[in-house]
Each structure stands twice: as C-alpha cells, then as structure tokens.
Structure 1
Amino acid sequence: MISTHCLHQAICLGAFTIAMNGALAGTLVADDDFTKSFGTEGNGDHVIGPDYSIAPELTDLGNPKGKQFEFLMPLADSKIFRGDDATLDPSKKVREQRKVFVYVPDAYEDGTEAPILVTLDGPSRLELVRNALDNLTISNAPERRLPAMIVIAVENGGSDSKGSQRGLEYDTMSDRFARFINDEVLPAVLNDPQIKATYPHLAFTENPWGRGVMGCSSGGAAALTMGWFRPDLFRRLITYSGTFVDQQDDDAAEEAKYPLGAWEYHSSLKLIENSEKKPLRIFTHVSEFDNGAQRPESSYHNWVMANERTAAALKAKGYDYRFVYSKASRHCDGKVFEATLADTLVWMWRGYHDED
C-alpha cells in the first residue's frame, strides 16, 4: 500500500525546476504569469520508522542566525476572530490576545519581497524551522536550498475541539482563517515597530506560490483549508497528523454545506475527488498510533483512515502531493518532525526561486 523511501538524501528530492509558460490555465487564479513544473521526485506515499534520528540540518550547525520577534494581537481588535462568536462554548477559555512569533533568516535582504511560511499553534516547531533556514538557505547543494522565507508562527485563539476558539479558527470549512492571516496578521507583522526598526523595507511576495502554511492536528486541517478555499493566497501546504475528521462546530453556519467538516475532503462529499483540481502542493502525514489509533474500539482510529483517504484522493486527482506514514509514533510526534521536517520543507519549496 505504502512504499518505502529514503530520507535525508538530496538525490531523493531532485533538482529545482521551473517552466515559464504563461498564465495558469484552468485554475481559480487568472493573474499568474507562469506555470511551475515541480517534477515528481519525492512525490507519493512513503513509510518511515520505527527508528528515528534528527536530521543534521535541523540542528545548530553554527551558521549565521537570523532575528526573532514577538508581539501580541488582542482578539478584541480583530474584525474576523474577536473571541465572541455565537458558536463558542462559554466553558472553553478564549485568549484575550494571541502571540505572534516572526523569524527573519540571516539570508534575507531587507527590501526583498520574501516568501513566507505561516505556522499554526505558534510557536509550535519554530526552533526546528529556524535551524532549517539557518542551514539550508545557504546550502551549497541547489537541490537542498531553501529560499530566504519569513516564518510567522501564530498562536491559536484558545482551547480545543468543538465550541472552542481554536476549533472555530482551524476546523471550520471556510476561507475565514485564510482571510484572518492575510488581512490581519500579515499587515500586523509588517507594521510591528520592532520589526520595522530592524527591517524598514520588509516586504512579502504576493505570489501565492511563495506563501506556505504548516500545521499539526487541527492546525494541519487548517493548512489544507486555507489553501483549498483561498488558493489565490496560499498554495504550499504542510499538514502533520491532520484532523481530517468531523470537528467542525455543530452550530457553525458551514454545517449547511459541509455537515461533516473536514471529513468531507475525502469521504461523503469527497471534495478533493469531485472538485476541479486546484493549484496546490500538499504534504500530509499520519502516525501509526495517531490520536489513540492503537485502540481499535476507539473512534480515534479515524485519524489514520482519514489521512490515508485524503492522500488517496490527492493521488487520484493528480495533485503534487507527498504522504508520510510514520511507524511507532503518535499524534504530532516530535521525533517525526525531527526526522522529516528538513526533507518536507525542501520538497515543499522545490520550484520556487527568490526572484519569482
């Protein structure tokens, strides 16, 4: 069912390629000036484990460090997620303000329109992403080089699952969270006084192929949902232990169109199979014992099933996708991130050049 594949080897991921062939035909975005050819190296289904070790590129190798910033965004100031939604369960705590962490790698040149990687449940795995950028933005191997992207790690709004602010943001089947990141978080980063003082000409690319999202669990579902509903804004999507099950709030307005929440991507409505193919590049992952999957009598076994079905749907539709099944591991397992994240980032950003 799932083939084995080597990790931590440049040859497994291939060289950067790009094809300049005019506007993207048959997509939802009409203003692209080119199509991109990513190649197929590293695509498909892969199994790893049960033994794990951290990739050297995710450790401190002594390379020049970038700069990290942190600021707060009060929920009451938001026009999109104020923390007072009618669907919220009053027993589940909502944050008064969320932290936003920003990392600018040393390789970034002020004034350059930088690609961005938004990570959810910030700071999440920011320490690993920082090391990856410190090491791989200056890699001597072109096939392992990452662009000098800005990382924006956004804290969730609080609590978890149905009736929570986090669940509202991450598990709802709409473009609401994508709009929140694009319309509120990104401008807040550009206007933060500390960041402006250090990088007065900081700029983000508007090219959606230069905008990625990474999340785990419901954050993984949110990453796919951001790209699915707004491929004009975000196209490179990384999901670990994705919650492609029904965690959308029962009172959500979106229940009318998507009654089973993210389960609809692969089952019931089968959105991936039955929708026009979107301009997205997608990484998905699930652990062998994801969210209690070692208990067959538990409904949590759906996590593994949901991710396998999602990967199968992406394959059937012809997406550029990479699916990793990790043995002897659990939900959002740190050892899986340590073993795979360097390869995941390199695969995800293949085909992107700083001049795009």
Structure 2
Amino acid sequence: MRHTSLAIFCYFFGATLFAQGEKPDAPEKYELGADSMPMTGVPEGKVTKFTWTSHVFEGTVRDYYVYVPDQYDPVKATAVMVFQDGHAYVNKSGEYRVPVVFDNLIHKKELPPIIGIFVDPGHLGEPLPDSRWKANNRSFEYDTLSDQYSKLLLDEILPEVGKAYNLTTDPDQRAICGASSGGICAWTVAWERPDAFRKVLSHIGSFTNIRGGHNYQALIRKTEHKPIRVFLQDGDNDLNNAAGNWWLANLEMESSLTFAKYDVKAVWGHGAHNGNHGGAILPDSLRWLWRTTP
C-alpha cells in the first residue's frame, strides 16, 4: 500500500513538474495572437441566430448560431464543427472568437471550409436566462454519461441546419468542442457516436464526479479503442472542489488516452477555470485537430 501511494504521488508530482515547472501563485496571463484578430482582406463568414425547442430534452428551449464561411460551396458536402455553450464561442470579441479564427484559417487554407454550429444549453421554462451559463438543463445535458445529447445533435440540430446547407456525414470531417461541462459533453458525444464525430476539442473539461465523469479514465483503458482524435487544454489553477480536481482529472484523461493509443494532444498551462488559455491557443488547437495526417 505504501509503494502504491508513493507511485501515485510521484506520477502526479512528476507530471506537474514536467508539464509546468514550478507552480505560480496566481494564474498565468494569456494573450490572443494575430489569428484571433480580424485581418484586412479576409472575407467574413455569416453568423445567423436561431431558437430551438427540443423533443429529445422535452420542453427545453435554446438558442443556436450557424456560421457559414464565405468559401462555402453548396455543391460540396461541407465539414462541420459543433460547439457547446455556443454563446461563448460565437462571440467575436470574447475569449474564443471562433468566427474570426475560422475566417483567418480558412482563408489561409489551414482549415477546410467549416460550418460552425454553436449550440446553447437547454432551459426549462420562460424566459431564457440572460446568462446562458445559467440555463437550468445545462448540467443534465452536458455532464450526464449517455447518448441523449448526441441525439439532440444528430436527430434535431444537424438535420435542421442541413435543410439550408450541405453538411457532410463523414465522421472524420465532423468535430465537436466545449469548455468545462461542455468539454466532457464533447467527449461523450464522440465516445457514444464515433460513427458521427471523430474530432474532440476540450477546454478545461469537467472530467470529474459531477455526474460520473471521473469514470472515463477507467472506461477508456478497458474499452476497445475508438477512432477519435482528442485535444485537451487545462491549467493547474483550475477548480478543486467536492466534485474533484479538474487539473488532475485532465492529466488522468491524457494518461488513459495515451495508454489506449488514441490520437491525443494535451497543452497544459497555469490558467484557471476560464477561456483565456484555450482562446489563446485556439488557432493552433484547430490546426492540430484538423490536420490531414495522423
């Protein structure tokens, strides 16, 4: 027992030092780069807002946004990337500002043309809260380990968007992204439906015991390998509460994914539970996620 405890201590202590160096007293500051800023001569994609009442999550109402790049060709089936907490990712002046990054990287041909679908969590009752983070069905939808949220996307949202745009059905050309509970949700969708989504981007993912997410570390090791590519981001100033330690949980996820021979990349930092670090590295994260070579 003593040897096991020592081994666990050495693993986490060594992993932290290897990835981080000495831990600072305060979260590190991160700056957005040129690819996250509007550029002269780069065509802008169009963003349109919609509202949806779900049958999968009966009675819930949510907003969602659709980004269509200027390079969209209706003759060609177009790649798709879904974002949980869509309001945070679609904001052009926010931490992630995905439409701006998409515009720049698609224009430089570092990404294929991608239709972005930014889906907010569902809310029961009226009106929708001013802060979509406070939607009352968010945790149930995002933190639950089941295929229900994937059904919302595959049976409702994507078919609705597909009425107007030519969306690919190729799982290798579909990606999904989220932060915090949205990050574990992105992983759950691909885990449950690798026939539909095979690229996952998780920012400060909640792989902790909110609704059993801590079990993924063991499930990944004991389940037959699935064809999923995964990018993880977190910082050692992330949350530590009754549900678990986010930083250690993300380290465990990387270890399990590496053990099970997934195509995984992790970028660690000193950030807290926010989008500063994930936003700063978003262009490079997307380049890695959408690269054509394994």
TM-score by shorter chain over 0.5: yes
Q: Deviations over 1:234-261 (max 9, x none)?
A: 110011111111222xxxxxxxxxxxx1
Partners in 2 of 1:350 and 1:172 — Cα distance? 30
Counterpart position of 2:24: none
Q: Match for 1:288 among 207, 226, 236? A: 236
Query: What is the number of equivalent residue pairs in this alignment?
Result: 261
Pick the structure with more helix per residue. 2
Alpha carbons of structure 1 residues 289 and 300: separation in structure 2 relative to 1, 3 Å: farther
Is the 8 Å Cα contact of residues 29 and 276 (structure 2) preserved in structure 1? Answer: no
Q: Match for 1:156 among 100, 121, 127? A: 121
Alpha carbons of structure 1 residues 306 and 3: separation in structure 2 relative to 1, 3 Å: closer
Residues 102-113 of structure 1 aligned to structure 2 (within 5 Å): 102-113=66-77
Q: Deviations over 1:121-171 (max 9, x none)?
A: 1122223211111111121xx6xx00100000001014999x951122111
Alpha carbons of structure 1 residues 151 and 218: separation in structure 2 relative to 1, 3 Å: same
Alpha carbons of structure 1 residues 223 and 168: separation in structure 2 relative to 1, 3 Å: same
Percent identity between the two aligned chains: 33
Counterpart position of 1:326: 269
Q: In the TM superposition, what is the alpha-carbon distance from 1:67 to its structure 2 partner?
A: 0.9
Please give the secondary structure, in 2, of the residue aligned with 1:227. helix
Amino acid at match of 2:37: T
TM-score of the two chains, using structure 1 as the length reference:
0.68
Q: In the TM superposition, what is the alpha-carbon distance from 1:275 to its structure 2 partner?
A: 0.6
Partners in 1 of 2:148 and 2:200 — Cα distance? 17
Amino acid at match of 1:50: E
CA RMSD, Structure 1 to Structure 2 (Å): 2.4
Structure with more relative contact order (C-alpha pairs < 8 Å, separation 6 or more): 1
Is the 8 Å Cα contact of residues 288 and 304 (structure 1) preserved in structure 2? Answer: yes
Q: In the TM superposition, what is the alpha-carbon distance from 1:73 to its structure 2 partner?
A: 0.5
Is the 8 Å Cα contact of residues 73 and 100 (structure 1) preserved in structure 2? Answer: yes
Q: In the TM superposition, what is the alpha-carbon distance from 1:190 to its structure 2 partner?
A: 2.6
Is the 8 Å Cα contact of residues 282 and 321 (structure 1) preserved in structure 2? Answer: yes
Is 1:58–2:39 an aligned residue pair? no
Is 1:136–2:99 an aligned residue pair? no
Is 1:67–2:10 an aligned residue pair? no
Q: In the TM superposition, what is the alpha-carbon distance from 1:107 to its structure 2 partner?
A: 1.7
Is 1:189–2:152 an aligned residue pair? no
Partners in 1 of 2:74 and 2:169 — Cα distance? 16
Amino acid at match of 1:322: K
Counterpart position of 1:81: 57
Is 1:114–2:78 an aligned residue pair? yes
Partners in 2 of 1:264 and 1:301 — Cα distance? 12
Please give the secondary structure, in 2, of the residue aligned with 1:174. coil
Counterpart position of 1:311: 254
Is the 8 Å Cα contact of residues 209 and 244 (structure 2) preserved in structure 1? Answer: no
Counterpart position of 1:302: 245
Partners in 2 of 1:46 and 1:106 — Cα distance? 39
Counterpart position of 1:342: 283
Alpha carbons of structure 1 residues 306 and 174: separation in structure 2 relative to 1, 3 Å: same
Is the 8 Å Cα contact of residues 209 and 243 (structure 2) preserved in structure 1? Answer: no
Alpha carbons of structure 1 residues 170 and 301: separation in structure 2 relative to 1, 3 Å: closer
Counterpart position of 1:99: 63
Alpha carbons of structure 1 residues 315 and 136: separation in structure 2 relative to 1, 3 Å: same
Is the 8 Å Cα contact of residues 60 and 131 (structure 1) preserved in structure 2? Answer: yes
Partners in 1 of 2:146 and 2:257 — Cα distance? 20
Counterpart position of 1:14: none
Regions of 4+ moved over 2 Å: 1-4, 45-52, 158-161, 298-301
Alpha carbons of structure 1 residues 320 and 215: separation in structure 2 relative to 1, 3 Å: same
Q: In the TM superposition, what is the alpha-carbon distance from 1:334 to its structure 2 partner?
A: 3.0
Partners in 1 of 2:288 and 2:111 — Cα distance? 10
Alpha carbons of structure 1 residues 47 and 208: separation in structure 2 relative to 1, 3 Å: farther
Residues 175-254 of structure 1 aligned to structure 2 (within 5 Å): 175-191=147-163, 196=164, 202-248=165-211
Please give the secondary structure, in 2, of the residue aligned with 1:113. coil
Alpha carbons of structure 1 residues 281 and 46: separation in structure 2 relative to 1, 3 Å: farther
Q: In the TM superposition, what is the alpha-carbon distance from 1:79 to its structure 2 partner?
A: 2.5
Amino acid at match of 1:304: W
Partners in 2 of 1:79 and 1:55 — Cα distance? 41
